[in-house]
Amino acid sequence: MIKIKGLEEQNSSKNKIIFSPRPGFTRGKWANPELEFPLIYGHRCPYCSNVIQALFKAPQAFSLWPYEETVILSQGEKNAGDIRKIYPDDKTKTGKSLYRMDYSPAEGGSVKITLKNHILRTRVIAERKYTGEGIWEDGEKPCTRTGIFSLREDLLVKDWMLFALVDTGDGREIAKYNFPTIKQIIPENNTDFKLIPAVGEAPPIILVEKQHTPYGYFYQTQPLIKPYIKAGK
């Protein structure tokens, strides 16, 4: 199991990510130790309870196979949100993971894990098509929601607008706006966009309903950003 613990604090030494071995990897020749690393930032989904992404200090990359227990929610209309299965299961090829893992050796080493299809890839947002073609990565879609994320608040707002096709990518529409923070644009009671705060030093993730993602959120986004258009535009 993968867990993050801590507060919405920047540079807090108390923020941790913990990898606990799942049953079958706790004793005997297959035993793996519990791993704990200093967390730089991380986000957990309130719908599927999975860690969506995390960046943490670690000296090297490692296999998630002994630790991963990813909840897969049903995507069907009648039972959407019900737990369908836990990944990996007995049909999963050894060593496979629903996470992407990236390692950097800089400053003693850091690892970034990202749950596939729970965060939209930057390229997908930049090359957004009205058909929704090419949005999803191969493999499972673990949650009924997917997310938009950037490490900088201003870029998060821009990516949100690109996602909703408010701008076609040439920047002319985006240039018409003064950008407040994403929390100022999206109120807590908004039903289309849910802000998930980070544990650690990072902006929130914007979660949207997965089933509506291919069609975009232009009409839901437009009234939220309209008050911030520059005078005379």
How far is the C-alpha of 20 from the C-alpha of 4, rounded, in Å?
11
Virtual torsion, Cα 61, 66, 71, 75, nearest 10 deg: 80
In the block, residue with structure tokens 């990359």? 61
pLDDT of residue 232: 65
Q: Is 177 helix (H, G, I), strand (E, B) or coil?
A: strand
144-162: average pLDDT: 91
Q: pTM for this structure?
A: 0.90
Question: What confidence tens digit (pLDDT) does each residue in 33-81 have?
Answer: 999 999 999 999 999 999 999 999 999 999 999 999 999 999 877 788 8
Under 8 Å between Cβ of 117 and 133: no
Token pair listed for 100: 């992407």
Average pLDDT, the chain: 89
Q: Give the span between the Cα atoms of 192 and 185, in whole angstroms.
A: 12
Residue 202 banded pLDDT, cuts 50, 70, 90? very high
Tokens found for residue 164 = 């909703």
Label residue 215 by pLDDT band (50, 70, 90). Answer: confident
- CA terminus-to-terminus distance, the chain: 51
Compute φ and ψ for 165, nearest 5 degrees.
Answer: 60, 30
Q: What strand order describes the sheet that includes 205-209? A: 145-148, 205-209, 194-196
Q: Confidence class of residue 168 from pLDDT cuts 50, 70 and 90? A: low
Estimate to the nearest angstrom the gap between the alpha carbon of 45 and the chain centroid: 8
CA separation for the pair 26, 130 (Å, rounded): 48
